[in-house]
Structures are given as C-alpha cells and as structure tokens.
Amino acid sequence: MSWSRGSRGRIVIALERNMKAIQPSSLHLCSLGRDGAPHRCHIKAGFILLLTWAFLLTAIGFFSQFSLKAAVLPGTWYKEVLNQIHSFYVVIEYPSASRNRTIFLAPNSVQQSPTQIPTKTTDMSVHYHIDHPSNYHFMLDEPDKCSQWDPFLILMVPVAPHQLDARNAIRSTWGNESSVQGKAVLTLFMVGLTGGPEAQQQLEEESQQHRDLLQSNFVDSYFNLTIKTMMIMDWLVTRCSQASYAMKVDSDVYINVENLMTLLLAPNTPRENYITGHLMRDRPVVRNKNSKWYVSEELYPEPKYPTYPLGMGYVFSNDLPEKIVEASKKVKGFNNEDAYMGACLKWLGIAPSSPPDPSQFRVYMGQYKRENFLRVITTLLGSPQQLIDIWKDVKRLT
C-alpha cells in the first residue's frame, strides 16, 4: 500500500483534531458527587486519553513500519508526525504524559546519527560497537552466489548507489573475468541506502539484471565506510566461507587479475592469516577537526595507526573475515576504514604482509604506458571511461 504526502498530512490533521477534541477544558462527561464536585471526571477523561494514546501508538507503529523500509531520515514526514505529537504533549501536562512522550520521542533521538537505525539487536552487548554487522541487515542479497560459483577468489567492491557508470565499467573489464588460470573468480558490489524510492527502484532493477549487488541498511556516506567494509566482511563470513581468498577493491581501481592470481597461487603465499597490498606504516592520526580524516582521541587514543593496507585494493585469505568481525566487537569504530582494519588486525595479533613485489600495488601510475599496466596488480584511475580504455589496450593482441 502506498501513501502520498497529502494523505499523510490529512491523517496528521485528523489526529490533531482528535486530540484537541478531548482537551480537559472541553470534557463534559463528569458526574457530580453529593457535594457538587466532579469526583469521577478524572476517571472518564483518563480513560478517553488512554484510548487516544493507544490509537496514536497503533497509527505510529503502522506508519513507522512503512517509513523505516524507505530509510527514515531527518526532514521526512515521519519525523514531522513525531514533532507534532511532541508539541501536543508539551502543551497538555498530564502526569502520565511524560512517560508516553519519552516513548514517542525515542525515534527522534536516533535521527541525528549518520547511520541507519539498527534493526538487528539479537545477542547484542555493550561490546558490539556501531560498526558491528549485527546492527544491520541486507536489503539486496545474493546468498546462493558462492554455492553456485564456488569461487577461489571473490572481489568485493564498495561503491556508492548512484555510481552506475563505475559498476558498468567494472562489469565490462576486470569484473567480467570469471575464470583465471583455471580458478573461478566472482565480483560483487556493496552499497548502502540510496536515499530515495526512485533511486532504490533503479537499484533493484539493476540487481535483477546483473545479480551482483549487495545492499545493507546503513546510510551510504563517507563517514560510514567503516560500516560498509564490515558488512563486506560479514557477507564473506555468512555467504562465502568456501572461497580461498577475497579482495576489497575500490571502484576507481584497475586490477590485473592475471597477476593477482599468480600471486595467490604461488607456493609461498600463506593460506591463513594473510593480508597484503600497499602498506601504510607509521601513519599519524589526524587530529585536525577540519579534516575529513579527523579521528578524535576518544575513538582512537594512540598518536599513530598500526600498519594497515591501503583500501584501494588489499587481498586476504578468507579465514580473516570471521576473525575481523569478531575483533570489531572489541575495537571501537572510527571513520577511517583502512586504519580501522589495521586496528582490528593489531587486536588479533596479525601483521599485514608485504607483497613479494611492492611495486605491483601502485597508488598512481602517472603517464599511461602499456608495459606498466601489464606488470601491476592494482592502481588508481581517474574515471570509469579511463578504465575501459586502458583495459582494451592492455588486452589487445600484440
């Protein structure tokens, strides 16, 4: 059932009128005692108010079920309804109203968070921080993908919902390689909430077409990239434990999957507790509040981060996701997802490994030279079109 803004407005007005109609000044249902005092007035008035509150609770419960599915955010009609109810209870001062007001205002108190309201609370404890996957659930999922493909390597790409061009560029290049050196490879995209019903519908249609989208119910923002990374780890634990290796790779990255597979199949590459990429060492924690990389001492008290792999592309043995998810119960989350991975690894006592050839994990390549792209494993690019152009040139017959 769909609701228009106009119909929601009429319901709110009707609720207001209903409440105004039973204000104490307008009640004439009191019976008089022998002394002429209305000694039973408070009973009937309280009973009517109780019925009205029950009606409001039922209506709000129904509306909230609808609106939460569409990712309730500040400024939506749901918040407007709550604000109207809040205004009513400020005016009507009944002894029991404050308790009900607290219940009604509880949803408003969580609207200030950049994350979506947690909906999975089973087995939660004080050790489960906001980034822990138990706080969220998958809205779009491919739970049988790995059982169907049995991949040796799975490439997990965090991407914004609106970045369709980036996803299509990957689908037509390295994301289209399903078998490399005789090993199955699978590519999936992880997104958060779209922020609107039209964008959500487009994403669902894309999911039906390609069957490679995963979506969880957190607000998709830069601040929440740690949550997105942890949801990737959770999906690997719960849906793809049979894979030997996985790689978290950003959507603006070129991957030479052939070279990556050569690294993973080398006899000296560990099969457990292994993670490698472009390593960041002795990086200071940014304390400048004007920086987007700012992390407070409360969230991370140490002056430097432990060694961590740069998030543009790091590959790891698939036994690590379960351990990292477990570590995230204890390690307080902060909004530098790559450094947070390093903090979880440090808590686990696992050190990232230097790649056999560090030059294969390049941040930037500079001027394009085909021979350089034939040697690397990862490097950042400037646009989806650049990925397509370089891929065609690298793959052409010489």
- Please give the sequence-ordered ranges of beta strands (E in DSSP) within the chain, or none if there are none: 138-140, 153-158, 179-180, 183-193, 213-219, 245-249, 253-255, 275-276, 279-280, 308-309, 313-317, 378-380
- 273 within 8 A of 350, measured Cβ to Cβ: yes
CA distance 316 to 171: 22
What contacts 142, CB < 8 A, 6 or more positions away?
Answer: 188, 211, 212, 213, 214, 239
Q: What is the pLDDT of residue 398?
A: 62
- Report the greatest alpha carbon distance in the chain: 109
Q: What is the pLDDT of residue 395?
A: 93
Predicted model pTM = 0.70
- 261 within 8 A of 349, measured Cβ to Cβ: no
Residues paired with 315 in a beta bridge: 247, 276
- 340 within 8 A of 131, measured Cβ to Cβ: yes
Can you spell out the DSSP letters for 363-393?
Answer: S---S--HHHHHH-SEEE-S-HHHHHHHHHH
Residues making up the chain, counted from first to last:
398
Question: For residue 105, which of 60, 66, 75, 135 has the smallest C-alpha distance?
Answer: 60
Can you spell out the DSSP letters for 54-95?
Answer: HHHHHHHHHHHHHHHHT---TTSHHHHHHHHHHHHHHHS--T
- 52 within 8 A of 92, measured Cβ to Cβ: no
Three-state DSSP at 230 gives helix
- Please give the sequence-ordered ranges of beta strands (E in DSSP) within 127-255, or none if there are none: 138-140, 153-158, 179-180, 183-193, 213-219, 245-249, 253-255
Residues paired with 379 in a beta bridge: 254
Name the CA dihedral angle for 224, 318, 208, 227, rounded to a multiple of 10 degrees: -10
Q: What is the pLDDT of residue 283?
A: 97
- 247 within 8 A of 310, measured Cβ to Cβ: no
Fold of 133-395: Spore Coat Polysaccharide Biosynthesis Protein SpsA; Chain A (3.90.550)
List the domain boundaries for the chain: 5-109, 133-395
Residue 360 CA: distances (Å) to CA of 229, 300, 388: 23, 31, 20
| Stretch (H or E) spanning 102 | helix 97-109
Q: What is the pLDDT of residue 306?
A: 98
Residues paired with 245 in a beta bridge: 153, 317
Each residue's pLDDT, cut to its tens digit, for the chain (398 residues) gives 434 334 334 433 343 444 444 344 333 434 444 444 444 444 445 555 666 666 665 655 554 444 433 333 333 333 333 333 233 322 222 232 222 222 222 222 223 344 543 444 333 333 357 888 988 999 999 999 999 999 999 999 999 999 999 999 999 999 999 999 999 999 999 999 998 999 999 999 999 999 999 999 999 999 999 999 999 999 999 999 999 999 999 999 999 999 999 999 999 999 999 999 999 999 999 999 999 999 999 999 999 999 999 999 999 999 999 999 999 999 999 999 999 999 999 999 999 999 999 999 999 998 999 999 999 999 999 999 999 999 999 999 86
Three-state DSSP at 111 gives coil
CA distance 12 to 59: 10
**Cα-Cα-Cα-Cα dihedral sign, residues 284, 290, 293, 299:** positive
Q: What is the pLDDT of residue 58?
A: 60
Which phi and psi angles does 54 have, rounded to 5°?
A: -60, -40
Q: What is the pLDDT of residue 263?
A: 98
